[in-house]
Chain A
Amino acid sequence: MHNRLSESWRQLIGFAPRKPDAGQQQTEARVIHRTKREDKTRIEAFKAHRADIVRSTQWRNRRWAVLIATNLLFVLSFWLDIQLLEGSLTASRFLGFHMIDLNAALQVALAHKHIPINLIIGTVTIFLFWALLGGRAFCSWVCPYHLLAEWTERLHLYLAERKLVSDHTFHRGLRSVLWLLFAALALISGYTVFETLSPTGILSRALIYGPGLGLAWVVLLLLFEVAYSRRAWCRYFCPVGLTYGAVGSISPLQIGYHLDSCFHEGDCRKVCLVPHVLDCVIKGRASDTHVNIGADCTRCGLCVDTCPTGSLRFEVRGLQNLL
Chain B
Amino acid sequence: MAKPSERRRFLRTGLGLAALLGASGIAWLPTPAASANRLRPPGALEEQDFLSACIKCGQCVQVCPVSALKLADLGDGYGIGVPYIDARAQACDFSCDAVQCILACPTGALTYHKPADLPVRAGMPVAAPPVLLAKKKDPEPTLNLKERMGVAQLTRPELCLARQGKGHTGPAREAGFTGMMRFMSVDRWKPIPLNEHAFAVEICDLCVRTCPIEGAIRLIPLADGKMTPEVLEPCLGCGVCEMACPTEPAAITILPRQGWPHA
Bitwise interface map of B from 86 to 110 toward A, beta carbon under 8 Å scored 1, else 0: 0000000000000000001011110
Query: In the complex the two chains form, is A87's CB within 8 Å of B62's CB?
Result: yes
Interface residues on A, range: 35 or more
Binding site for B on A (CB under 8 A): 77-78, 86-93, 98, 100-101, 104-105, 108, 111-114, 116, 118-119, 122, 168-171, 173-174, 177-178, 181-182, 185, 190-197, 201-202, 205, 208-209, 212-214, 216-217, 232, 236-237
Query: In the complex the two chains form, is A214's CB within 8 Å of B13's CB?
Result: no
Contact among B52, B75, B115 with A111 in the assembled complex (CB-CB below 8 Å): B52
Query: In the complex the two chains form, is A114's CB within 8 Å of B24's CB?
Result: no
Query: In the complex the two chains form, is A205's CB within 8 Å of B81's CB?
Result: yes
Query: In the complex the two chains form, is B80's CB within 8 Å of A90's CB?
Result: no
* Residue count of chain B within 8 Å CB distance of chain A: 41
Q: Is B12 an interface residue (CB 8 A)?
A: yes
A183 to chain B, nearest CB (A): 13
Residue in A closest to B111 when the chains form the complex, CB atoms:
A116
Contacts of A89 on B, CB cut-off 8 Å? 57
Query: In the complex the two chains form, is B106's CB within 8 Å of A100's CB?
Result: yes
CA distance A89 to B57 in the complex (A): 7
Q: Is B26 an interface residue (CB 8 A)?
A: yes
Contacts of B52 on A, CB cut-off 8 Å? 108, 111-113, 190-192
Q: Is B58 an interface residue (CB 8 A)?
A: yes
Contacts of B63 on A, CB cut-off 8 Å? 86
CA distance A209 to B78 in the complex (A): 19
List B residues 10-35 near A (Cβ within 8 Å): 10, 12-13, 16-17, 20-21, 23-24, 26-27
CA distance A202 to B73 in the complex (A): 9
Query: In the complex the two chains form, is B20's CB within 8 Å of A197's CB?
Result: yes
Query: In the complex the two chains form, is B61's CB within 8 Å of A178's CB?
Result: no
Contact among A77, A90, A170, A209 with B55 in the assembled complex (CB-CB below 8 Å): A90
Query: In the complex the two chains form, is B56's CB within 8 Å of A78's CB?
Result: no
Query: In the complex the two chains form, is A201's CB within 8 Å of B56's CB?
Result: yes
Contacts of A87 on B, CB cut-off 8 Å? 57-59, 62, 106
CA distance A116 to B105 in the complex (A): 10
Provide a sorted-by-A list of 27 A–B residue pairs whose CB atoms are within 8 angstroms: A87-B58, A90-B81, A91-B57, A105-B55, A108-B53, A108-B55, A112-B107, A114-B108, A114-B118, A122-B106, A168-B9, A169-B9, A170-B12, A171-B10, A174-B13, A178-B20, A181-B21, A185-B24, A191-B27, A191-B78, A192-B52, A193-B27, A195-B80, A197-B23, A212-B71, A212-B73, A217-B74
CA distance A202 to B54 in the complex (A): 14
Contacts of B26 on A, CB cut-off 8 Å? 196-197
Query: In the complex the two chains form, is A177's CB within 8 Å of B17's CB?
Result: yes
CA distance A294 to B152 in the complex (A): 59
Query: In the complex the two chains form, is B16's CB within 8 Å of A237's CB?
Result: yes
CA distance A78 to B61 in the complex (A): 9
Contacts of B23 on A, CB cut-off 8 Å? 197, 217
Contacts of B81 on A, CB cut-off 8 Å? 90, 195, 201-202, 205
With A190-B48, A232-B16 given, name 10 new contacts (CB 8 A): A87-B58, A98-B106, A108-B52, A112-B109, A170-B13, A173-B13, A196-B26, A202-B80, A205-B56, A209-B71
CA distance A93 to B48 in the complex (A): 26
Counting from the closest, the 6 A-B pairs by CB-CB distance are A91-B57, A212-B73, A116-B108, A112-B52, A111-B52, A214-B74
